[in-house]
Structure 1
Amino acid sequence: MKDLEEVLHRYRTLTKLSIALIYAICVSIAVNIFWTPGHIYGSGITGFAQLISTVCGRFFGIGIPVAFLYALFNIPLLILSWKKIGHNFTIFTIVAVVLSTILMRSLHPVKVQFDPIICAIFGGVFNGFGTGLSLKNELSTGGLDIIGIVLRKKVGESVGTINLTFNLIVVIGSGFLFGWIHALYTILSIFINSRVIDALYTRDQKLQVIIVTSHAQTVIKQIQDEMRRGITIVNDVEGAYQHAQKTMLFTVISQYELPTFRQAMHESDPYAFVSITEAKMIMGRFYQEHIY
């Protein structure tokens, strides 16, 4: 058993290191091949580093590489992560930041000028894919992720105001530096980036589930054995067609848990009526598994 745990630990470590490398490649391609040539900025710390690099070069004549600023802005966040989140989590985040810095510095911006819309779309796709894949595999890419996790530990939920504020600064800066059409392209890229992340990282997407079943206790046991979810029971529900007595169950799950839920229903009551809809807002206590 101990040998198996050691093998699994090594597998998880190698997987996270591989994902960190993939993220570094993706963000480097996004910044140097699409965003920088197209005068488009990314979201969060990456976009802020691009913005400061441009301002220093244009107004002060100081050429500061984006990669250097990206690493510099991440240093205080990594210190915060080390103190507030955990050492193991921070070490993998450092690896992701270091690899991204090295590859961004090594891969020079291309000379070929793509259409700005192409730069916005593909920059967002590449960065979103790398970030979403990292989050899906429980790996942080640094930057505002760290602030979000620390705030979630304190207040119990993610706080999007900081991310929105950074992105507004980036968009406004893009407008003043390159014109407002490029600000629009930046908004497009940030939007595509977020949509790609949402497509890959589904842990924060909530679904409301209604189950009508004749085997309530079996279903409840199966779901709670497989998932850490509370369930509300409504007894003595009557079907309008056959007037059969049923039990209605309410619960909320994440999109990430949907395959597990389907399997639990198949094993407990494959003939149950199940309705699944997107939950716009959750108030009250909802168990959220940490990514670290």
Structure 2
Amino acid sequence: MPAAKPVLVTGASGNLGSMLARELTARGYRLRLTDIKPFPGDLPEGAEFTTADLGDAVAMQHLADGCGAILHFGGISVDRPFEEVLDPNIRGIYHIYEAARREGARVLFASSNHAIGFHERPGPGEPKLDADCAFRPDSFYGLSKAYAELMGRLYWDKHGVENLNVRIGSSFPEPVDARMLSTWLSYADLAQLCAAFIEAPRIGHAVVWGASDNPATFWGQDQRERIGWAPQDTAEDFRGQMEGKVSGDPVTERYQGGAYCASAYSRESPSPRDPFALD
């Protein structure tokens, strides 16, 4: 059953936010949508849209009034310089959690694999990376995601604000390269995850790998049982088209964060499987 209280969705004009606006209103949820950019296309029935900046604490509090859940997809969503990331991703997440604390709302934070991007990809037969692993961000963007996950940890421990950090791999309509055979998250699986989050009786503070049911996944255990989510789609359906689409760059292909790890990389490239490469 859809939640009685409205749900706030930030970043609603982006690819994922606008998709969720359509999918969740179709499931009967009442949504408050916000972004600094206009909403693309027609506004779904059952949703209202407000233009606002994540850096505006008063606006975020007003938008959260009466909401039972916040789906936080707002902010800089790609690898950008520190000064561009700072205000929307660092100050913005504080405003979201303060609004959630005041309203007694729970928060789904759209985190990223780039918070752990400098972990190596597992080889055949090697263990997958569990969600309780150390943060190893691969960019200022990834660093902001790690910070925001820790903000959720703080607000749960200190204030009891329930939150779910979804470390999204690669959420697109279809995979576009070989790496996404491991990291792809279908739109349908993401929409189902968000609905499960809204409806879950209790969450606490949890971390879930945001990927579909991909046999080639880099990732292992997480806390998806807290929301009862089981992805239905798989990147294996695209293996024949994607298997050979690799970058050829040794840093990109070695680490889980892919091209974000290689961007502005200034170390001497490590030899293959060097155990001290990133100590």
The TM-score, its normalising length taken from structure 1, stands at 0.25
Normalized per residue, the structure richer in helix is: 1
Flag the structure with larger Rg: 1
